[in-house]
Homo-oligomer: A and B are copies of this chain.
Amino acid sequence: MKSYQEMTREELLQEKAQLEAEYRKYQMRELQLDMSRGKPSTEQLDISMGMMDVLSSAADLTCEDGTDCRNYGVLDGIAEAKVLIGDMIECPPENIIIYGNSSLNIMYDTISRSMTHGVMGSTPWCKLDKVKFLCPVPGYDRHFAITEHFGIEMINIPMLPTGPDMDMVEELVAKDDAIKGIWCVPKYSNPQGITYSDETVRRFARLKPAAKDFRIYWDNAYGVHHLYDDAQDQLIEILAECKAAGNPDMVYKFSSTSKISFPGSGVAAIATSANNLEDIKKQLSVQTIGYDKVNQLRHVRYFKDINGMVEHMRKHADSLRPKFEMLLDLFEKEFTGLGVGEWFKPKGGYFICFEAMENCAKKIVSKAKKAGLVMTPAGAPFPYGKDPKDSVIRIAPSYPTLEDLTLAAKIFVVCVKLVSVEKLLEE
């Protein structure tokens, strides 16, 4: 196949005419398609309906230790939920606090607490002239929204196939004590689906930050969200690795069951060192009497243990896999050798990331919209919504039906090609 770059102006014009005709056909259908949101599909939600039937008597609502989950009490989560989530994220139960329904909320609260009260006795960040965060890009827009909300300066760190550029991370944290954290989605990253290599995790654990209150914000959002049984990415457990490296307090690990049970009605957790837990609980005991234990117990009763959860995640994989494969097959077929962009092939998570030619992402997203296909806004995976190259597009295959997604994918392909041809013709 000839790449667009190799084509003559004539050939490009011919291709353009053909693509435009195809594009117009889609436009005339007045479609309403959406590949913008990392939401589970209705089919996936149905997988968890058994959650609704596991609690009916007062006995069902009583913990092993006798705690009546219907009443006040238990600040940091019921014991059996800590075991379940601990197994899910490969951490000892004693390092865990179970919160409410949202790990994002935990991250927000963690930053907010650091602003007003510092970290383990450090100066509250709101009293400092400057606070900075490292942001591997592309990344999760809601992470960046939190740091932006608190006026924290964000520094882009390029993502490599092995994770963030660790040379840059090591150098920056060592020399600048205003750098207080780094956002990480270490497994099946949002949006690229990259899992940090062993070497990357080990280098994280061995960081020598100038700031004592520097923390790694390890958002393990997709820890058990594999697409395949036999081809799964492995991630080194960061808490143990930090401890071994003499940096036990350097990491906060976040997780939730949002994309396991019900988004918005799951349970979320933090895992961290005893010192950090003490620091957090001092504040948490002022903030609340406790989170929803009934829902914590609902999860335990339904999944029973980690085996139950792994089995459950196979059903999610069965629903998601055909969507990812359809998209990746189509990209392979339509884009290979064409020079219009690159993409990763994730083995889990919720996204595919397409990297178009420079200055094309916004145009592609806009063109898709005019054909009835909503994509994540270009720029969203970057701090301040600014993609320096305007090339990254996040694709979320989960929510539409396979039929709708197939149509959406075809429209996307046409938009990518058309914008690429237009760009080359302009040059």
Contact = CB atoms under 8 A, between A and B. Distances in A.
A192 B318 CA distance: 59
Contact of A126 (B69, B124, B290): B124
A149 B283 contact: yes
A8 interface: no
Given A73-B264, A109-B287, 13 more contacts: A40-B71, A42-B58, A45-B58, A45-B71, A71-B264, A101-B292, A102-B289, A104-B289, A115-B115, A116-B126, A126-B127, A263-B289, A292-B295
Interface of A: 37, 39-40, 42, 45-46, 48-49, 52-53, 55-58, 60-61, 68-73, 100-102, 104-105, 108-109, 112, 115-117, 124, 126-127, 142, 145-146, 149-150, 258, 262-265, 283, 286-295
Contacts of A100: 100-101, 291-292
Nearest to A297: B265
Given A101-B100, A104-B287, A286-B108, A263 B295 contact: no
Given A49-B58, A126-B124, A70 B292 contact: no
A77 to B, nearest CB: 11
B286 A145 contact: yes
Contacts of A127: 126
Contacts of A286: 108, 142, 145-146, 149
A173 to B, nearest CB: 24
A124 B101 CA distance: 28
Contacts of A112: 112, 116
Contacts of A57: 49
Contacts of A70: 45, 48, 262-265
Contacts of A102: 288-291
